[in-house]
Amino acid sequence: MSRLGAGFAALLLTLAPAQAGPAREAIVTVQLANAVEVVDLASNTVLRRIAVDGAPAGIALSPDRKRAYVTRPEGHGLAVLDLDAGTVLTEIPLPGGPLGVAADPRGGHVYVADWYGARIFVLTEKDGVLAPDGEIAVGQSPSGIAVAPDGGRLYVANREANTVSVVDAGARREIAVIPVGHHPFGITLDAAAGRAYTANVTGDDVSVIDVAAAKEIGRVPTGRRPYVVALLNGRGFVTNQYADSVTAFDLATLKPLAEIDVGDHPEGIAADPATGRLYVADWGDNRLSVIDAASLKTVAQIATGNGPRAFGDFLR
């Protein structure tokens, strides 16, 4: 397959909305199997598989965690899933190469990055129906998207432009461009700390952004081909696709702490604050690796279908 996925891999990682307790499930896009799998995190087993064609890649969850928004880069569109029923509610056609996806934490809007079009598609929900509602021009090859908690700003990693676009979501226009490292892909927003982080795929580092000042303030060295950053307990965790590892670093000093061995070609990563665990999609080994954030060790593996991506917000 073309892997408007694997070649373009890790897209976004925004901070997941707070949950009442530990995450119960991981919602994993298994791209080569053309499906989304619901993984039970207590038993470490796949509960159900939902067929989604078009090489599903990016994923975001609705604020109530009942729906998943899944990009289909080879199907040219977005699938909306009812996670409790295990069904596809609708498929929304989109042109170009839909890849990164993020949902407004307040509800009402979903944003999709068009890898080929230097634009973000805006989808708006009205009377329970999500539909295309315009677009926003950004930099070349947008991939990851992060949305501020109040929904007022979008932060978009533009891979081929080596920049991050700051977008006024209400006005639907780019208001700032921040130069970062080489080929930024995944972007993670830490709104409370006023920072954002991009995984710079061919720079082998992470750019640290001061959101208020709209400028890069530091770099963190990583392993080869970093793709996505997750944050947990004062530390950052970066998947390194070509190193089969996750780099842990200190958010205060920006110093690397450890290289954690995981599976082949790790891509998506998400953190569960309630348990102190991180979940990593190992593309090449068809599994999730489970990392204990305190010991910085891999403590479990969970088998998945072929080509797990889980790029985005995937724990509930």
CA 25, 293, 240, 141: dihedral to nearest 10 degrees? 60
Amino acid 303: pLDDT: 98
Amino acid 18: pLDDT: 46
Range of the domain at 71: 25-312
Q: Is 99 domain-assigned?
A: yes
Q: What are phi and psi of 48, to 5 degrees?
A: -155, 160
Q: Is 45 domain-assigned?
A: yes
How many domains is the chain partitioned into structurally?
1
Average pLDDT over residues 32-42: 97
CA distance 145 to 171: 17
Q: Is 16 domain-assigned?
A: no
Q: Is 214 domain-assigned?
A: yes
Q: Is 29 domain-assigned?
A: yes
Q: Looking at the predicted structure, is the pLDDT value of residue 48 above 80?
A: yes
Report the 10 Å Cβ neighbour count for 217.
11
Q: What tens digit of pLDDT does each residue of 215-239 get?
A: 999 999 999 999 999 999 999 999 9
Amino acid 2: pLDDT: 44
Q: Is 59 domain-assigned?
A: yes
Average pLDDT over residues 17-38: 89
Q: Is 13 domain-assigned?
A: no
Amino acid 20: pLDDT: 60
Q: Is 8 domain-assigned?
A: no
Q: Looking at the predicted structure, is the pLDDT value of residue 277 above 50?
A: yes
- Global pTM value: 0.94
Q: Looking at the predicted structure, is the pLDDT value of residue 5 above 80?
A: no
* CATH number of the domain where residue 144 is located: 2.130.10.10
Question: Do you know the residue count of the chain?
Answer: 316
